[in-house]
Amino acid sequence: MKRPIHKYNNGIQCFKDTIYEVALERYYSSINLHEPFEETVFDHILKNSKIKTFVDIGSAWGYYSLKAKFFDRSIKVLGIDGDQNMVNHAYANALLNDISDIDFRHGAIPKNISLIDIILETEKIDLIKIDIQGEATDALKSANGSITKIKNIIVGTHGDEHDNCLKLLLEYGFQVKLNFTSDEIPIQPDGLLWAYR
């Protein structure tokens, strides 16, 4: 039996069994995109900045990693997720889209890998997305001074961490371009911060 595939309105395909059920329900009840508001921000950054490196922390089934490659196949993409099954799903979804050069890794930030480890591994990071279900504050703290190598940062915030993440980004010298709590964003369960330098 053939494995069912979900095709988003932007052309990205993912195996249905790799996507959270609650996300599929959201797609069917509204726009068939993962997080329409956040994707608008993501697309804006891709179109208006010279993005050569993208780090996707909390890559899950690989949606944003794939989205970056759909925009420009030359972007170097590193996806990290704390669930090995999701890493496997992300690889499968990448191959489904004929993409084989995304580096997906298993690692929980900041539990067994720190943001500083990732930052030090690259010369610079043009864009980083952090969406790790309530752990973003600790992830940002784990970066220390090396966070200056990051040009753009998108943080999906959950619960009461939004204000803490905002404060850290400002302390690290970022300019905050967007600041929305989860109550201010339709069709999306998390808050959103976009900061740049």
- The terminus-to-terminus CA distance of the chain in angstroms comes to 50
Taken in order of first residue, the domains within the chain and their CATH numbers are 34-196 (3.40.50.150)
Q: Which of 2-6, 164-168, 180-184 has the weakest average pLDDT?
A: 180-184
What CA–CA distance (Å, rounded) separates 125 from 148? 9
112 pLDDT higher than 70 = no
Residue 153 · residue 134 · CB < 8 Å: no
pLDDT computed for residue 148 by the predictor = 83
Write down the pLDDT at residue 99: 98
Does the pLDDT at position 124 exceed 90? no
Residue-level pLDDT at 186: 64
| pLDDT recorded at residue 122 | 72
Handedness of CA 161, 163, 167, 170 (dihedral sign): positive
CB-based contact 130:139 (threshold 8 Å): yes
Question: What is the residue whose two structure tokens read 């997080």?
Answer: 35
Least confident span in 41-50, 71-80, 180-189: 180-189
pLDDT at 67 over 90: yes
Indicate whether 100 pLDDT > 80: yes
Report whether pLDDT(121) > 80.
no
Cα separation, 113 vs 71, whole angstroms: 28
φ and ψ at residue 23, rounded to 5 degrees: -70, -45
CA angle 189, 190, 195 (to 5 degrees): 150
Q: Which helix (H) or strand (E) holds 119?
A: helix 115-121
CA distance 41 to 31: 16
